[in-house]
Structure 1
Amino acid sequence: MNLILETDDLDEYRKSSDVIDYQITAIRERAIRITEGIQDELDIVRAVYHFVRDEIAHSADIQGTVVTCKASEVLEHRQGICYAKAHLLAALLRSLGIPTGFCYQKLVLDDEDKPWLVLHGLNAVYIQSLEKWIRLDARGNKAGVTAEFSTDDEKLAFEVRTELGEEEDPMIYVSPSTNAIQALIHWKTVEELLAHLPPEV
């Protein structure tokens, strides 16, 4: 799939915001701690990715009770759903000056009672040494779900099943989905949130 940039200005993919809040000291300090002693760009991105994928739980996997949205909240509570984990990955990498954007897939929920499409959030990261963007999915691995760091063939958490109407969105967005953010803010429990995931960016 050919990815599409929302803007050619890489600096836009390095900015902080209310949600990608790496101006918070805890975010910057964590990024430095994760990458301490690492010089190679690929190894830096890999280390940060593995931290978010493996050390930050997906709220649904742990029956979490806290809904997080801002990157600093995700880091503080050590959990979040896919959107929130993507916010943290972007904040950590952007704090290190690495351009990072947001990507989305439209997927069918596994729950047979809710067969509609919902957004799944992940990231795209610009690797300067390779002069290319790669997509990374920090959702978190579990039985039946395996995502890996890869610069060649993508190894995302979910493979889009076009026969079920699932879709890839090729856009690399500068900012997270407004609908995703509104859902994270509006719903107060993880159970409510998972029952009302947005279908559109």
Structure 2
Amino acid sequence: MDPSVSPYGPLRADQPDLDAYLAADEVIDHLHPAVVERAAALRQADPVATAETVFGFVRDRIDHSADVGHWSAAYRASDVLAAGNAICHGKSHLLAALLRANGIPAGLCYQRLEVLHGLNGVLLPGSSWWVRLDGRGNRNGADGQFATTPASEQPAWANDPALGEHHYPTVYAATPPVLLEGLRRARPGGVGFDYLPSELPGAA
């Protein structure tokens, strides 16, 4: 098996400069003191071990809102950390922030399901391959696992091609505007995903 070949298709960065995947912005705000503190607490001696520890923290310690019935509407990384729960997009923003705070390039990836699902693309130290990591949280049938190669990727949800489900091939350095617009409409306590787009317009 070729370790560079993902069963979900190849990933490509949308930005040529790797620094874009280490930068802080309004959503992936990894310069926030609470994010800096948590990133340091999760740091291991080996950077791959750090990535796995960060992944496990976001997947297992930050609840998915739908799983626990607490809808924080948080999407900014620091707000997700404070709230302790978010939908998949908020969790992916926190995972990217904690990885970037530890010097590991990380971006945002998407899967077309009934609504747009968010996960991450990560460039692990010493690797030339972007790898999908899905920290959604393993409840209600989800089964996302840590991976170090594209061939070993295991997102939370499988695709049903008959329903048009698929993984997008792009690793975004920042949240796409159409998604960010939707996330800003969410309100604490609001149940469901009706503010999310079902797909990324113009994306393959």
After TM superposition, the score normalised by the length of structure 1 is 0.89
Higher strand share: 1
Q: Which residue of 2 aligns with 1:113?
A: none
State, as a whole percentage, how many aligned pairs show the same letter: 39
Decide which of 2, 13, 17 is 1:9's aligned counterpart: 17
Q: Counterparts of 2:84 and 2:39 in 1: how far apart (Å)?
A: 15
Deviation at 1:23, TM superposition (A): 1.4
- Whether the 8 Å CA contact 1:137–1:156 is kept in 2: the answer is yes
Deviation at 1:62, TM superposition (A): 0.6
Q: Counterparts of 2:28 and 2:130 in 1: how far apart (Å)?
A: 19
CA deviations 1:11-50 (Å, max 9, x no partner) are 1100000111111111001000111xx2112101000000
Decide which of 13, 22, 26 is 1:18's aligned counterpart: 26
- Whether the 8 Å CA contact 1:59–1:190 is kept in 2: the answer is no
Deviation at 1:8, TM superposition (A): 2.4
User: Over aligned residue pairs, what C-alpha RMSD do you find?
Assistant: 1.4
Q: Which residue of 1 aligns with 2:172?
A: 173
Q: Does 1:32 align with 2:31?
A: no
Q: Which residue of 2 aligns with 1:112?
A: none
Instruction: Write the letter of the residue equivalent to 1:171.
Output: T
* 1:27-106 alignment, distance < 5 Å: 27-35=35-43, 38-106=44-112
Deviation at 1:164, TM superposition (A): 1.2
Decide which of 124, 143, 148 is 2:145's aligned counterpart: 148
SS in structure 2 of the partner of residue 21 of structure 1:
coil
Instruction: Write the letter of the residue equivalent to 2:139.
Output: K
SS in structure 2 of the partner of residue 125 of structure 1:
strand
Q: Where in structure 1 do 4 or more consecutive aligned residues deviate above 4 Å?
A: none
Instruction: Write the letter of the residue equivalent to 2:57.
Output: F
Instruction: Write the letter of the residue equivalent to 2:50.
Output: I
Where in structure 2 are there 5+ consecutive unaligned residues? Answer: 1-8
